[in-house]
Chain A
Amino acid sequence: MSLSLTLALSACAAVFAAVFSSVLQGAWQRSLLCLLLAITGLLAIAAGITGLTDGGGAILLPMGLPWLPMHANMDALASFFFLVIGSLLLPVAIYSQGYLRGEERLTPLAVFMPLFVLGMLGVVIADDAFTFMLFWELMSVSSYFLVTFKHENLENRKAGFIYLLMAHMAGLLILGSFAVLYAASGSFEFSAMREAAISPFWASVAFLLAGFGFGTKAGVVPLHGWLPEAHPVAPSNVSALMSGIMLKVAIFGFIRVVWDLMGPGDFQWWWGALVLAAGSSSAIIGVLLALQQHDLKRLLAYHSIENIGIILIGLGLSLLLAHFGHLTLAALGLIAALYHTINHALFKGLLFMGAGAVLHSTGTRDMESMGGLIHRMPWTAGLFLVACLSISALPPFNGFVSEWLTFQTALMAPQLGGALLTAIVPFSAAMLALAGALAATCFVKVFGVVFLGHARSQLASDAHEVDNWMKAGMAVPAVLCLLLGLLPVMFIPLMDSVPQLLLHTSLAGSVHEQGWLWLTPVDVTHSSYSAPIILIGMLVLGGLAFWLLHPKGTSIRRSVMWSCGNPHTHARMQYNATSFSQPLRRIFAGIYRPEEHAHIERNRHKLLTDKVTYVVHVGDMAVKYIYQPIGKFTLFTSKLLQHEHERGIHAYLAYTFFTIVFLLAVFI
């Protein structure tokens, strides 16, 4: 058994052991849970790195069904996702040690958090459809209990129900996809599915089933309705895991089925175009809806939709280019998507942990009652800023590297098929640019409204900094965000075994042909980027400017802010989350369809205004036009069948009898 497989299986064992922390009480329970989760994280990182460098191995586990033992395989793809899971699980475990302090009812978390992580690790390492689905369901069901952790709120129970329903719809579609592959290969084992030839029609069926199934779980527009409901209501450390890793496991499943089990030979041109369209629309709709939120965690959940869209743009480009035989560029697209996968895991994990710190300290998720937190929570503010810069794709942080690689893939795409198909590629790149710029707008709003300005409520002015565990938990991904942004040339060769496995192409040679300082995806005349030089240049220039301009030994004079001469300023005069996004609400009114109500009270005289109220609600179009009609239709049809349920036992016996007769008539 290879080293990486040993490490991976011990990670699974460690996380399973963490379930038994539920027998303990209080602080011991919390410490053991967090310790074992941290150990799992470390083991997963080690397993991922050794698997990527030395190659993994397969093993037949002595459990499972009698005729179908569990197959585990630690190949390059599984190793990479182990690395993704581990690198967020470790900081979240450290953070939880502080975050869960004072939580009275720990036992549900102590049972379901390890099971949830075990589910994700199991999906990644699975090498047959049965094991895959088993762990997939474990992941979905245990995360349901985490979403409904605070089940005393009606909102949480509702969110949990929608989540469970959608997760099982997704599970059913994925099962259908495996059924198609089973029919082609005659076996549940992935190795047999890889070998089997599949007709183009059935390949497309399997692709569509997998696409919709994994797409639902990943939150692709318009299947995303559950995501902004479920992610905000879970405890923040769980939200970080759900948004940071669980969505990535869905991306993993999609890559596993389409790239690995089917392979580039089966790709058709419209697969890539469809994924590209889904990715572009998810990116744009996700960020546009995020801009209109004032619940901090809900806003972050919409950003997950946007980032899944960016990952899908990379994957769509890879599909399209692989179909037309440009395997090097397809590998670049895949690398860009995978790079964004780990980047998003890190910065979104950090953002949710930061939101958790703010929630912990102020007790609210509503941005309209925050403000000025940078003075009371300086550490959280600084670390949160790193995540904001990363997610807004600004150099020298990591988000920029993966978006840059996606742009490069799109721009280097040669002529494909017809002019229209060729034009889709740069168009999706332009949509990526729009999404990136809107994300920057949104995070200026988040950071500006939450951390800058004046406190908008007593809750915000009474806020306090969080403890060292939480700070340390947030510091780890912040450092990783900067490192992944500065040293992509060292990290991409590590990931390179994934395209080697899936597309039989390597990028390692071209990526660092100019040394570790320069990232050159194809060659240096095409494009190059050097984050270290930019950072050093900026530090030198900025330091020089500061040193030259800053008068020594004097402190800056402070005075009141300028308020047009009006001495009566109030914190509510500041721009808030709703007013910040007003221009966009007006520009994209066709997409938002905002319901606005302005009411002016004039009790004394028609020229004297007493009170102005303004209420705006921006709903989610997908929920309004897809989910609600389906829900209504289901209710309507079940009403029609309702009276059939009210009959006596003999009617039920008759139903059973006729069903059996029918089945016998059809199948024998």
Chain B
Amino acid sequence: MSSAFVQMLQAILLLLLAPLAAGFVSTCKARLQNRRGASVLQPWRNLRKLFGKEVVMAEHASWIFRTAPYVVFTATVMAASVVPALLVDTPLSLTADVIALVALLALARFFLALAGMDIGTAFGGMGVSREMTFSALAEPAMLMSIFVLSLGAHSTNLTTMINHTLNSPFALHPSLAFAFVAMLMIAVAENGRIPIDNPGTHLELTMIHEAMILEYSGRHLALMEWAAMVKLMLFATLITDLFMPWGMTLEASPAGVSLALALWIVKLAGLLLALAVIETGLAKLRLFEVPEYLSGAFVIAFLGLLSYYMLEVGA
């Protein structure tokens, strides 16, 4: 197996597993709420249905509205394929480091937001205004938590960062604990899950992400939904990469890759189950408590940074 093959395999797996992961979360939530819920495959079926449907667009939608689904989808998939999932040293991981990865997601969000403004409905503008505001507040917290990790590894390349974690003896670093908590909080916010946004609601008072894609239909909507699912997978994989990369393979051998694949799925399932538990246990925050949540995440990440400098750098 060449590393390019594993790169392809991993990108395709990420794409194909993303709807399953979304389905897994909603099934877990249903069970936790004592419901049977839909099958794990339901998001797949939804996508297939949407791909087969006709597109209906508002009369004065511009080319921005038509191209946005493709830009959002490709930028998200591009970002996802940069994140190593199975093999530590993938060919594509050199093309973008963590900062460029965050910027690719920002590019996707920029076009998503423009598409939301294009039709000129109050819903679209409302969703865009909220999404851009909260994501701007989430950005420093996210980068700060990444900085804590990259300071230890002296690098922002994911491959080098994973290698650093794999090669250093296991120890409980307080800075990593802070960074982990901050990263989890940001991942929940960035993916529009409870307690920040509820992906299952269309209630105008609370809606953020859904408000932006309200005008989409058919294959365009499918691409937008799929991109959101890939983003959830991306964040889950990023968290496993940065904080618990154990089991990832250093060389592209069939045995190593299959072990890494099995462990990756187990780790993802664990994280997604935790997400389902959080979503079931918490209520959605009021809109103007979200900034407090996000600045809380920033402060936690900054504490991680300070504890890195004070406790760990000399030791």
A527 touches B156 (CB 8 A): yes
Cα-based distance from A77 to B147 in the complex (angstroms): 32
Cα-based distance from A598 to B287 in the complex (angstroms): 21
A561 touches B160 (CB 8 A): no
Among B34-42, B98-106, B231-239, the stretch that binds chain A is: B98-106
Residue of B95, B291, B310 with most partner-chain A CB within 10 A: B95
* CB of B121 to closest CB in A, whole Å: 6
| Chain B positions 87-109 with a Cβ under 8 Å from a chain A Cβ | 92, 94-97, 99-100, 103-104, 106-107, 109
B133 touches A574 (CB 8 A): no
Closest 10 A-B residue pairs measured CB to CB? A575-B125, A448-B117, A453-B120, A437-B139, A437-B136, A561-B58, A441-B132, A430-B140, A542-B74, A541-B74
CB of A426 closer than 8 Å to a CB of B: yes
B140 touches A528 (CB 8 A): no
Q: SS class of chain A's interface: helix, strand, loop or mixed?
A: helix
Cα-based distance from A174 to B214 in the complex (angstroms): 56
Q: Chain A contacts of B132 at CB under 8 A?
A: 440-441, 444-445
Cα-based distance from A527 to B154 in the complex (angstroms): 9
CB of A198 closer than 8 Å to a CB of B: no
A452 touches B118 (CB 8 A): yes
The contact string, 1 if C-beta is below 8 Å from chain A, for chain B 64-86, is 10100011011101100100000
Q: Chain A contacts of B81 at CB under 8 A?
A: 537
A526 touches B156 (CB 8 A): yes
The contact string, 1 if C-beta is below 8 Å from chain B, for chain A 447-488, is 111001110000000000000000000000000000000000
CB of B265 closer than 8 Å to a CB of A: no
CB of A144 closer than 8 Å to a CB of B: no
CB of B215 closer than 8 Å to a CB of A: yes
Cα-based distance from A560 to B60 in the complex (angstroms): 9
The 8 Å CB contact of A530, one of B94, B150, B291, is: B94
B298 touches A448 (CB 8 A): no
The contact string, 1 if C-beta is below 8 Å from chain A, for chain B 30-70, is 00000000000000000000010011111111111010001
Interface residues on A, range: 35 or more
CB of A582 closer than 8 Å to a CB of B: yes
B117 touches A449 (CB 8 A): yes
Residue of A431, A436, A583 with most partner-chain B CB within 10 A: A583
* CB of A544 to closest CB in B, whole Å: 9
CB of B157 closer than 8 Å to a CB of A: yes
Cα-based distance from A556 to B54 in the complex (angstroms): 8
Q: Chain A contacts of B64 at CB under 8 A?
A: 374, 452
* CB of A417 to closest CB in B, whole Å: 11
Q: Chain B contacts of A583 at CB under 8 A?
A: 129-130, 133, 287-288
CB of B119 closer than 8 Å to a CB of A: yes
Among B18-26, B268-276, B301-309, the stretch that binds chain A is: B301-309
Binding site for B on A (CB under 8 A): 371-372, 374-375, 389, 392-395, 400, 404, 407-408, 411-412, 415, 419, 422-423, 426-427, 429-431, 433-434, 436-438, 440-441, 443-445, 447-449, 452-454, 514, 518, 524-530, 533-534, 537-538, 541-542, 545-546, 549, 556-563, 569, 571, 573-576, 579-584, 586-587
B113 touches A534 (CB 8 A): no
Q: Chain B contacts of A571 at CB under 8 A?
A: 120
The 8 Å CB contact of A561, one of B92, B133, B215, is: B215
A559 touches B156 (CB 8 A): no
Q: Chain A contacts of B59 at CB under 8 A?
A: 558-561
A408 touches B130 (CB 8 A): no
B309 touches A437 (CB 8 A): no
B160 touches A529 (CB 8 A): no
CB of B203 closer than 8 Å to a CB of A: no
Q: A395-B103, A587-B291 are in contact. Are A412 and B154 (CB under 8 A)?
A: yes
Please report the number of residue pairs spanning A and B whose Cβ atoms sit closer than 8 angstroms.
246
CB of B248 closer than 8 Å to a CB of A: no
Cα-based distance from A569 to B62 in the complex (angstroms): 19
A574 touches B106 (CB 8 A): no
CB of B261 closer than 8 Å to a CB of A: no
Q: Chain B contacts of A447 at CB under 8 A?
A: 114, 117
Q: Chain B contacts of A415 at CB under 8 A?
A: 309, 313
Cα-based distance from A392 to B132 in the complex (angstroms): 12
For A575, the closest partner residue in chain B by CB is B125
* CB of B289 to closest CB in A, whole Å: 11
The 8 Å CB contact of B302, one of A411, A427, A441, A560, is: A427
A411 touches B125 (CB 8 A): no
Residue of B128, B136, B306 with most partner-chain A CB within 10 A: B136
A574 touches B110 (CB 8 A): no
List 5 contacting pairs A-B, 8 Å CB cutoff, sorted by A.
A445-B132, A452-B120, A529-B100, A546-B70, A549-B51
Q: Chain A contacts of B150 at CB under 8 A?
A: 411
Cα-based distance from A571 to B302 in the complex (angstroms): 44
Q: A453-B118, A528-B157, A579-B125 are in contact. Are A423 and B305 (CB under 8 A)?
A: yes
Q: A430-B140, A534-B96, A549-B219 are in contact. Are A525 and B129 (CB under 8 A)?
A: no
Cα-based distance from A215 to B66 in the complex (angstroms): 44
CB of B4 closer than 8 Å to a CB of A: no
Cα-based distance from A46 to B136 in the complex (angstroms): 40
Cα-based distance from A584 to B291 in the complex (angstroms): 10
Residue of B59, B125, B219, B223 with most partner-chain A CB within 10 A: B125
* CB of A229 to closest CB in B, whole Å: 27
B95 touches A562 (CB 8 A): no
Q: Chain A contacts of B77 at CB under 8 A?
A: 541
Q: Chain A contacts of B97 at CB under 8 A?
A: 527-529
Q: Chain A contacts of B104 at CB under 8 A?
A: 395, 534
Q: A426-B305, A534-B95 are in contact. Are A562 and B157 (CB under 8 A)?
A: no
B113 touches A433 (CB 8 A): no
Cα-based distance from A575 to B58 in the complex (angstroms): 17
B120 touches A534 (CB 8 A): no
Q: Chain B contacts of A524 at CB under 8 A?
A: 94, 157
Q: A411-B147, A533-B95, A562-B214 are in contact. Are A575 and B129 (CB under 8 A)?
A: yes
B57 touches A559 (CB 8 A): yes
Residue of A415, A422, A518 with most partner-chain B CB within 10 A: A422
B78 touches A541 (CB 8 A): yes
